[in-house]
A and B are shown apart, each in its own frame.
Chain A
Amino acid sequence: EAGVAQSPRYKIIEKRQSVAFWCNPISGHATLYWYQQILGQGPKLLIQFQNNGVVDDSQLPKDRFSAERLKGVDSTLKIQPAKLEDSAVYLCASRLVRGAGELFFGEGSRLTVL
Chain B
Amino acid sequence: DAKTTQPPSMDCAEGRAANLPCNHSTISGNEYVYWYRQIHSQGPQYIIHGLKNNETNEMASLIITEDRKSSTLILPHATLRDTAVYYCIVRGTGANSKLTFGKGITLSVRP
Do A and B pair up? The answer is no
Name A residues whose Cβ lies closer than 8 Å to a Cβ of B. Answer: none
Name B residues whose Cβ lies closer than 8 Å to a Cβ of A. Answer: none
